[in-house]
Structure 1
Amino acid sequence: MIALITFLLLLVSLAFPKIFVAEWEGPITPTAAGYVERSLKEAQEKGGSLYILILNTPGGLVESMRKIVQAFNTAPLPVVVFVYPPGARAASAGAIITIAADVAAMAPGTNIGAAHPVIAGPQRDKKNDVMLKKALEDMLAFVRAIAKEKGRNVKVIEKMVKESLSLSAEEALKKGVIDLIAYNLGDLLEKLHGRKVKKLGRVYEIKTKGKEVVKVEPLLREKILKIISNPTVAYLLLMIGFYGIFFELYNPGAVIPGVVGAISLLLGLYGLSLISVNWLALLLILLGILFFVLELITPTFGALTIGGIISLVLGSLFLIEENSPYGEIPKQLIFGVSLFSAVFFLTVGYLGIKAQRRKKITGMEAMIGEEGEAITDFKKGKGKVFVHGEIWDAYSKEDIKKGDRVKVTGIKGLRLMVEKVREDESGGAEES
Structure 2
Amino acid sequence: MRALAVFFLFMFSLLNEGFPKIFVAQWQDAITPVAVDYIKRSISKAQSEEGSVFILELNTPGGLESSMREIVQEFQKTTIPVVVFVYPSGGRAASAGAIITISADIAAMAPGTNIGAAHPVQIGGEGQNDVMKEKVLQDTLAFVRSIAREKGRNVEVVESMVKKSISLTPEEALKANIIDLIATDRIDLLNKLNGRIVEKHGRKIILKTEGVQVYQISNSLREEFLNLVTNPTIAYMLLLIGFYGIFFELYNPGSIVPGAVGIISLLLGLYGLGVVGVNWLGLLLILAGILLLALEVVTPSLGGLAIAGGIALALGSFILISPESPYGNIPISVITTMVILTVAFFLFAGRLGFKAQKRKKMLGTEELIGEVGEAITDFAKGKGKVFVHGEIWNAVSEEDIKKGDAVLIEEVKGLTLKVRKS
Superposition TM-score tier, normalisation by shorter sequence: 0.7 to 0.9
2:326 alignment partner, SS class: coil
- Number of the residue aligned with 1:3: none
Q: 1:95 to 1:365 in 2, by over 3 A?
A: same
Q: How does 1:225-264 map to 2 (within 5 A)?
A: 225-264=226-265
- Number of the residue aligned with 2:184: 183
Give the root-mean-square deviation of aligned CA atoms.
Answer: 2.8
**How many Å separate the matches in 1 of 2:184 and 2:211?**
20
More divergent stretch after superposition (11-20 vs 157-166)? 11-20
Matched, 1:52 2:55: yes
Q: Give the drift of 1:390.
A: 5.2
Q: 1:68 to 1:250 in 2, by over 3 A?
A: same
**How many Å separate the matches in 2 of 1:238 and 1:366?**
41
Q: How does 1:256-275 map to 2 (within 5 A)?
A: 256-275=257-276
Contact in 2 for aligned 1:14/1:47 (Cα 8 Å): no
- Number of the residue aligned with 2:111: 108
**How many Å separate the matches in 1 of 2:231 and 2:55?**
25
Q: 1:21 to 1:369 in 2, by over 3 A?
A: closer
Q: Give the drift of 1:149.
A: 0.8
Q: Which residues of structure 1 form unaligned runs of 5+?
A: 1-9, 371-387, 392-406, 415-432
Matched, 1:321 2:330: no
**How many Å separate the matches in 1 of 2:277 and 2:346?**
30
Q: How does 1:105-184 map to 2 (within 5 A)?
A: 105-123=108-126, 125=127, 127-184=128-185
Q: 1:35 to 1:324 in 2, by over 3 A?
A: same
Contact in 2 for aligned 1:196/1:204 (Cα 8 Å): yes
**How many Å separate the matches in 2 of 1:47 and 1:12?**
14
2:52 alignment partner, SS class: strand
Contact in 2 for aligned 1:20/1:52 (Cα 8 Å): yes
Q: 1:298 to 1:13 in 2, by over 3 A?
A: farther
More divergent stretch after superposition (238-247 vs 140-149)? 238-247
Q: Which residues of structure 2 form unaligned runs of 5+?
A: 1-11, 372-393, 398-409, 415-422
Matched, 1:83 2:86: yes
Max Rg structure: 1
More divergent stretch after superposition (207-216 vs 176-185)? 207-216
Tell me the alpha carbon deviations over residues 285-313 of structure 1, each in whole angstroms, 9 at most, x when there is no partner: 22221221121112222222122112211
| Number of positions where the alignment pairs a residue of Structure 1 with one of Structure 2 | 373
**How many Å separate the matches in 1 of 2:66 and 2:311?**
34
Matched, 1:331 2:332: yes
TM-score (norm 2): 0.82
Tell me the alpha carbon deviations over residues 30-76 of structure 1, each in whole angstroms, 9 at most, x when there is no partner: 00011111111111111011000000000000000000001101110
Percent identity over the alignment?
Answer: 59
Q: 1:257 to 1:147 in 2, by over 3 A?
A: same
Q: Give the drift of 1:332.
A: 1.5
Contact in 1 for aligned 2:124/2:280 (Cα 8 Å): no
Q: How does 1:333-412 map to 2 (within 5 A)?
A: 333-359=334-360, 364-366=365-367, 389=395
Contact in 1 for aligned 2:20/2:208 (Cα 8 Å): no
Tell me the alpha carbon deviations over residues 347-385 of structure 1, each in whole angstroms, 9 at most, x when there is no partner: 221232123324579954447789xxxxxxxxxxxxxxx
**How many Å separate the matches in 2 of 1:325 and 1:90?**
11
1:90 alignment partner, SS class: strand
Contact in 2 for aligned 1:122/1:128 (Cα 8 Å): no
